[in-house]
């Protein structure tokens, strides 16, 4: 069975992420979306919330499951006996950022990184930009599922009321 990990922060999971995961799910028997926890960074959503949102967004993809990890990603890959990860590329900027990590992960644990191009519709979409635009009142509905958008709007409304 072929398995690939799609790692990321996913705070929150966007339609750009979904597009890449869907493409990966067509190439591998199984795809594991691994939410990588950064203990030094407090996200808008907790890791449990992110996982719940991703599960709902990927309910249409039966060979996709969601997991979490804190620490070096290659240690997770070793523990799970998975040798391939898939990353989405939006631009040459992503490529420049990803290449050293791919080389490092290969050297550390012989992990192969496969890059999939995102759809041009999502080339400008990132979780952080979506959060910034939404916080300032912009329309981010084209970039999130209806469920994730609802939760983001509620979270922002809650933050504002504090």
Binding of ligand PNS at residue 88 (CB under 6 A)? no
Active site residue 90: yes
Total chain residues near ligand PNS (CB under 6 A): 9
The catalytically annotated residue of 50, 127, 145, 149 is 127
Q: Which of 21, 24, 58, 73 touches ligand PNS by CB under 6 A?
A: 73
Binding of ligand PNS at residue 8 (CB under 6 A)? yes
Q: Could you tell me the CA-to-CA distances from 26 to 30, 40, 62, 63, 71 in Å, in that order?
A: 9, 34, 11, 9, 28
The CA-to-CA distance between both ends of the chain, in Å, stands at 49
Q: Alpha-carbon distance 77 to 62, whole Å?
A: 21
Contacts (CB under 6 A) with ligand PNS, residues 97-116: 101, 104-105
Angle at 61 between CA 106 and CA 130, to 5 degrees: 75
């966007």: which residue's tokens?
Answer: 14
Active site residue 41: yes
Binding pattern for the stretch 34-53 against ligand PNS, x by CB under 6 A and - elsewhere:
--x-----------------
Positive or negative: CA dihedral 90, 91, 93, 95:
positive
- DSSP letter (8 states) at residue 119: P
Which span sits near ligand PNS by CB under 6 A: 1-9, 25-33, 58-66, 154-162?
1-9
Active site residue 127: yes
Catalytic residue numbers read 17, 41, 90, 127
Q: Which residues bind ligand PNS (CB under 6 A)?
A: 7-9, 36, 72-73, 101, 104-105
């Amino acid at each position: 069975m072929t398995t690939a990990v799609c790692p990321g922060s996913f705070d929150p999971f966007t339609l750009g992420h979904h597009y890449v995961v869907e493409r990966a799910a067509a190439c591998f028997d199984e795809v594991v979306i691994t939410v990588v926890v950064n203990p030094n960074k407090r996200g808008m959503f907790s890791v449990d919330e992110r996982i719940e949102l991703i599960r709902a967004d990927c309910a249409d993809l039966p060979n996709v499951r969601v997991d979490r990890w804190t620490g070096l990603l290659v240690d997770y890959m070793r523990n799970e006996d998975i040798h391939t990860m898939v990353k989405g590329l939006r631009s040459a900027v992503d490529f420049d950022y990803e290449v050293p990590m791919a080389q490092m992960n290969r050297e550390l644990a012989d992990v192969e990184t496969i890059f999939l191009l995102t759809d041009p519709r999502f080339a400008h979409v990132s979780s952080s930009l979506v959060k910034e635009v939404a916080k300032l009142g912009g329309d981010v509905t084209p970039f999130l599922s209806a469920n994730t958008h609802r939760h983001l709007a509620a979270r922002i409304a809650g933050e504002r009321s504090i």
